Amino acid sequence: MIAKVAVAALALLGGLAMVNPQEPSSATVILPSGKEFTAEIAADPEKRRLGYMFREHVGPDEGMLFVFESEARHDFWMKNCKVSLDIIWLDEELTVVQIAREAPPCPESGPCPSLVAQRPARYVLELAGGAAARHGLGIGDRLAVVSDPPIR
């Protein structure tokens, strides 16, 4: 059943990309392993700026999907983040192009380095640190995103 949903979602992604200009507030992200995450959508500059700042916990089935207007080398940092995260850069087709595994929070004092994307990405998925490894996620894997309306 999950595989059918994932295939249907992948088929819909290309055709519905511009149907609705509004972004959904959440989506279901499905990994190749079949593992599903409920992801908050961060599609506007303010939501993308805040991300997981000040959050005390990211659940094992939770994530945040950052949606950008175009593919670019989007940089991330862990400023004011209280938990480690897996940061997963995805291209236009939702294929994994880079993973920062278990990125630690920045120190309270001192510099907060940016995590620099090595390849252009259209989407970035953040999960609790270690989730990518636990579910066997790697470069080249393709994810599915199911939302209403579809992400653009």
Per-residue pLDDT of the chain in tens (152 residues, 90 and over written 9): 444 334 334 333 433 333 335 778 999 999 999 999 999 999 999 999 999 999 999 999 999 999 999 999 999 999 999 999 999 999 999 999 999 999 999 988 888 989 999 999 999 999 999 999 999 999 999 999 999 999 87
Torsion of CA 64, 150, 116, 79, to 10 degrees: -30
Task: Identify the pLDDT of residue 128.
Answer: 98
Interstrand relation of 36-42 and 85-90 (parallel, antiparallel or unpaired): unpaired
CATH assignment of 2-146, given 2.60.120.1140, 3.30.465.10, 3.40.640.10, 1.10.10.10?
A: 2.60.120.1140
Task: Identify the pLDDT of residue 21.
Answer: 53
